[in-house]
Structure 1
């Protein structure tokens, strides 16, 4: 089971989601999207909360309001973190999550600690948590199928982009050849290099002169 929430409307159309338990978290860790950002209470047990960004966006595009929604949802879904103030919530791109065979179910590490950010949450904001809970939807998605469909779509898009790149390169090549041909033609038509009929006539001997030379 995965729980889906809608972020506050003024920040844009964003979906926030989390797994029912640590076993569901394993599936989310395994089958995430490149646009997913992972949130967790630092050094405490909590739900694994994900924000799905729009394609092409990065963590730098997360607005203050959107960040608050994610951080409050994480805090509210941490047994220990929900009881205390001034906690830290860490977040990082899904692609930075590291999972090894020696780790417990639901446990993760990071490939690069430098891409992990921290936001301070002073206290629980009930108005934020209640608003998010009113948008809550439960689903049983086939995360593996969704992940595979995403990869196929990305592969098809990359192929289309490559075809377009090759087409553009071929058009550029043909245009360069056309321009070179035009320059070559213009050089042939330069007036200094052309000879008029009058000039030809002035340099050739007349029929009478030729006959006299013959005689």
Structure 2
């Protein structure tokens, strides 16, 4: 089961989601999207919360209020972290998550720790947590693999379209350059200095027989 939340602190609103347990987290780790941002309480057990960005966006594009919502949601879903003040929440792009066969279910590390950011959470803000919980939707047995494969299929189609359009532009440009070259050549042939006249009667005199 996966829980979806709506953060309406920005317009249009954005979605936050997390797995019910470590087994759902495992599926999310495996079938995440390049546009996903992963959140977790630093050094403590907590839910894995995800934020899905728009294509082309990165961590710098996340609105501060959305970061606050995500961090409050992570804190509220950490048994230890929910009771503590002054905790850190770490977050990074899904592609920076590192998973090996030796790790326990739901456990991850990072390919590049320098790409991991932290946000200090001083305390739980019930107003935020309650607002998010009112938007919670439970989805049973979502097919993460199918969703990822559909996303990748659309991306491949977009890339093919871009390649076709680029080839068509290159073809049109070659045609334009060829036409310009032919026009210059035609104009050169018709310049006065390049034109000659011929006396076809071969008469060099004005006398007639």
TM range (shorter): over 0.9
Counterparts of 1:139 and 1:17 in 2: how far apart (Å)? 10
Question: Would you say how many aligned residue pairs link Structure 1 and Structure 2?
Answer: 206
Partner in structure 2 of residue 35 of structure 1: 35
Determine helix, strand or coil for the equivalent of 1:174.
helix
Describe the SS at the equivalent of 2:120. Answer: strand
Residue 86 of structure 1 is matched in structure 2 by 86
Residue 45 to residue 210, structure 1, CA distance change in 2 (3 Å):
farther
Instruction: Report if the CA contact (8 A) 2:41-2:88 is conserved.
Output: yes
2:165 equivalent in structure 1: 164
Any unmatched runs of 5+ in structure 2? Answer: none
Distance 2:75 2:89 in 1: 8
How much does 1:189 deviate? Answer: 2.0
State the SS of the aligned residue for 1:104. Answer: coil
Q: Is the 8 A contact 2:9 2:65 kept in 1?
A: no
**Partner secondary structure for residue 56 of structure 1:** coil
Asked if 2 retains the 8 angstrom alpha-carbon contact of 1:34 and 1:95, the reply is yes
Answering whether residue 10 of structure 2 is matched by residue 10 of structure 1, we say: yes
- The Cα shift of 1:168 comes to 1.1
Asked whether the 8 Å contact 1:40–1:47 carries over to 2, the reply is yes
- How far apart are the structure 1 equivalents of 2:25 and 2:117? 20
Deviation at 1:11, TM superposition (A): 4.5
Give TM-score scaled by structure 1 length: 0.90
Measured against aligned partners, the alpha-carbon deviations of 1:100-145 in whole angstroms (never above 9, x if no partner) come to 0000000001111111111111111111111100100000211111
Contact 1:16 1:52 in 2 (8 A): yes
Equivalent residue for 1:134? 134
Q: TM-score, normalised by structure 2?
A: 0.92
In the alignment, is the contact (CA less than 8 A) between 1:11 and 1:63 conserved in 2?
no
Alpha-carbon distance between aligned partners in 2 of 1:78 and 1:149, rounded to the nearest angstrom: 32
Give 2:177's aligned residue: 176
Residues 52-91 of structure 1 mapped to structure 2, 5 A cutoff: 52-91=52-91
RMSD: 1.7
| CA distance in structure 1 between the aligned counterparts of 2:65 and 2:79, rounded to whole angstroms | 24
**Offset, 1:12:** 2.8
**For the Cα contact (< 8 Å) 1:4–1:17, is it kept in 2?**
yes
Aligned to 1:144: 145
Bigger share in helix: 1
Q: Secondary structure at the match of 1:114?
A: helix
Larger Rg: 1
